Structure 1
Amino acid sequence: MTNYHVDPQGQPLTVDLGGGLTCTKVSLGEMDNNGYLLTGAGPSVWIDAAAEPERISEVLAGRDLPAVVTTHRHYDHIAATAQVMGATGAVGFCGTPDRESIEQDTGTEQQGVWTGDTIAAGPGSLEVIGIVGHTPGSITLAWVPSEGPAHLFTGDSLFPGGVGKTWSPGDFATLLDDVSTNIFDRFGDDTVVHPGHGDATTLGAERASLPEWRARGW
């Protein structure tokens, strides 16, 4: 596996996720947010319309976009949501506990989703996994092809080297528990993690560090 690196203002990177789904990754905005376009023989999905709607439009290249999924409510992940939804007619999806905040901040209507829900993508669907801690309504999206590794789009809940930022010891404990139970306990070491910022990693590269993360408290 490569780390699927993209540079700010650099060219998008397109990779095959297996199972008939392709992912195009692009860095957006001043905080180097990752935006992901998933395409295949079926509905396309954009994950995190973070910023720079004109760059998102370039990546879309005129294709239909039925869905924009927001991984969580923080502003650096939603700044272009209204423009992209307005330009494409896409339906917005987000974690139900973050829905009200995202609707207020973007002026859009969102469909709340949570653990066990699915969102159509290409020839199949993305599984929604609720991960509480970074925000109350953060979600991870799982693509699990019949062959090859699973792919997780984790927003700011899981990165190379640790879980996302939290603002209290209780939130950290909840986040690490959810990541441990709902991600590490469920998926194999070859599973690829596509975070909300920066490079990708695998669960195998991170698994041995879980006790260290818990001990350090971040």
Structure 2
Amino acid sequence: MNTVYTSETGVRPWESIYPSHDAGFVTVTLINHDFLSVWESWCDLMEPLSEEWPIKRKWYSAMTSGFCSNAQEYLFKKNTAKTLQEGDMCKKNEKSNIYSTITKLPKSPRKIESFNFEASHDTILVMQRTETKIEELWSEMTSFETQISPEKLSSFLVQQGNILLCRFYESETHAAAQFIYQNRHENTVILESVSNLFKKINTEDVHHYINNTNIL
């Protein structure tokens, strides 16, 4: 089945039961019945948009609880260091004792490995018009270490005006790719591009689409 999309005001993480309705933000969601189909649609959309948002980084919280021993923490740091490339960063938040990692991704969406975002509810794809220092970005994103909530996403976007956030969701019945951004004139190109590629459905019709109970 073809990918469809919804567009709503506010910050509306797919799994959140308490979304934000703030009109200063927009959430666009691509929906299909499996992750690879959504990923292909995401790539189709991001190819032209990559000229606007060329900088792509993956953020994730590497450890959400304390280590059992110093040896375990040492091995974690050693093994993580082996996976990091130039421009990547993994650092411990001394206040929370949680490690989070930022890795640089290719500009071209088709060069990004899809497995980076499969079953990645706790991962954020950050896309920027201009590159900020990774240390500054890491510091701002420590707020997501324990929870990625609408309130935290809103606060982060207010501080980072040139950023487009993407998140992916996957279940047995469907998959979704979400774009969350500030409702500003320079960002209208996102919705224009989405509408040219995919069919829009109303939010109340999403369950029909997922369950194949209605022909859209």
TM-score by length of 1: 0.28
Instruction: Give the greater-gyration-radius structure (CA).
Output: 2
Higher helix share: 2
Q: Which has the higher contact order (CA 8 A, sep 6+)?
A: 2
TM-score by length of 2: 0.28
